Amino acid sequence: MISSSKRDELIVSKIRNGTVIDHIPAGRALAVLRILGIRGSEGYRVALVMNVESKKIGRKDIVKIEDRVIDEKEASLITLIAPSATINIIRDYVVTEKRHLEVPKQIRGLIKCPNPQCITNNDVEAESKFTTVSIKPLKLKCDYCEIYITEDDVIRQIL
């Protein structure tokens, strides 16, 4: 009998160098690709597995990208829509680094305040700044106009 992890490996082969983003909540892989700006025409070899079994989170998505590193800004954004995700850096088929993501306490300049009357949407120098109120469920508060935003608001901005 083939185990579920073996079955997943059969769907997507290992990559030599690059990044594997694992434990993405089921259905969010496309949003993760959107954060990374990957639309398909950039030339990266990308593998995507959606809705596979996970002991940790029930069902999950996995994204594998060859020859692509993920910077801090991208990692912070990924935490907002996939707080359970892990980022594995692969070199020569081996995981050389495993990063567990954490939602930052403060999020600067990454997302727009949805309030059109907020100063951050109306002055070229005013950078958006959110403070994390809760992680599960995700709730952020704009430091300027104090409006609350949720995970759905963040996803809406990304997609």
User: Would you call 109 exposed, middle or buried from its count of C-beta atoms within 10 A (0-12, 13-18, 19+)?
Assistant: exposed
How many angstroms separate the CA atoms of 9 and 68, rounded? 20
- The packing angle between helices 151-158 and 72-81, to 10°, is 130
Rounded to 10 degrees, the C-alpha dihedral 8/95/86/50 comes to: -20
Going by their DSSP bridges, the two strands 86-91 and 18-25 should be labelled as antiparallel
Per CB under 8 A, 145 contacts another protein = yes
Of 49 and 135, CB closest to another protein: 135
Of 68 and 141, CB closest to another protein: 141
Structure-token match 């109120």, residue found: 133
Per CB under 8 A, 142 contacts another protein = yes
Beta bridge mates, 20: 64, 88
Structure-token match 């709730």, residue found: 139
Shortest approach of another protein to residue 130 CB, angstroms?
12
Of 26 and 145, CB closest to another protein: 145
Question: Per CB under 8 A, which of residues 99..118 are in contact with another protein?
Answer: 115-118
Of the candidate spans 6-14, 53-61, 66-74, 138-146, the one that interacts with another protein by CB under 8 A turns out to be 138-146
Per CB under 8 A, 135 contacts another protein = no
Judged by CB under 8 A, the number of residues near another protein is 19
Per CB under 8 A, 31 contacts another protein = no
Shortest approach of another protein to residue 84 CB, angstroms?
26
Q: What residues make contact with another protein under the rule CB under 8 A?
A: 115-120, 122-126, 141-148
